[in-house]
Amino acid sequence: MRCIHCDYEIPDGVKFCPLCGAIQRSISAPPSTQQTSPPDYIHPDSYEGVKDSPKYVGFGDAIKLYFKNYINFSSRSTRSEYWYAYLFTGLIDIACWLINTVVPIGIIPVIADLVFFLPSLSISFRRFHDTGRTGALPLITFIANLVWRVLMGIILIMMLVAFFDSSDVDWNVLILLLFGVFILGIIPLGLKIYEIVICCLESQPNQNQYGREPRY
């Protein structure tokens, strides 16, 4: 650093030149005292939009956000929002099962599954986004589980038809197919376990490519 008056070389950060005594107008603060913020930081007060997920929500607010973001696959959702919504859908499933045991109307669980399908998938997307990951895995998990269920259903129907059919049927082949499809179930099971593990992780503390950090 040089003096702005006499061009004498002086130590960095001094206020007066030791040679001519001139005041140095441009003073650089030592690096240790400089305060900087992350380049992607946005003050929470500047957030707008009712769909934003706070860092922590209660059971009722989580359900409101669950339905408010019915087809929102682009933003973020925190752990409390996700797991309270998961608890809510689980309780509804149990209630549908109890109703179905008393009044055997199979359409009730089907209606519940259809109603909760999109919001449950979208909140899984947002929970993955909240950890900085793409939401493709929940969709892949759903497709893998659906394919496995369809294959298992086909094999069971084939075995049921073969049981009542008087024609000759190679049961060894059917049992081998059933065993093979059962082994394939390890894939959707493993994907689901991994999805649960990711959904248990904390939120990224800063803004990422999917949205701002959770409000405090």
Q: At 73, list the tokens.
A: 């696959």
With a threshold of 0.75, does the pTM exceed it? Answer: no
CA angle 195, 77, 122 (to 5 degrees): 65
Would you say 72 and 211 are in contact if contact means Cβ atoms under 8 Å apart? no
Q: Which amino acid is at 171?
A: W
Residue 78, classified by CB atoms within 10 Å of its CB into exposed (0-12), middle (13-18) or buried (19+), is buried
CA atoms of 135 and 184, how far apart (whole Å): 23
pLDDT tens-digit profile, the chain (216 residues):
777 766 767 777 777 766 566 677 654 444 444 444 443 433 333 334 445 567 788 999 999 999 999 999 988 999 999 999 999 999 999 998 888 888 777 788 888 889 999 999 999 999 999 999 998 999 999 999 999 999 998 988 888 887 777 567 777 888 888 899 889 999 999 999 999 999 999 998 888 888 887 765
Contacts 24+ apart (CB under 8 A), 188-194: 188/141, 188/144, 188/145, 188/148, 191/137, 191/140, 191/141, 191/144, 191/145, 192/141, 192/145, 194/137
Residue 12, classified by CB atoms within 10 Å of its CB into exposed (0-12), middle (13-18) or buried (19+), is exposed
What values do phi and psi take at 54, rounded to 5?
-70, 170
Would you say 161 and 112 are in contact if contact means Cβ atoms under 8 Å apart? no
Would you say 57 and 80 are in contact if contact means Cβ atoms under 8 Å apart? yes
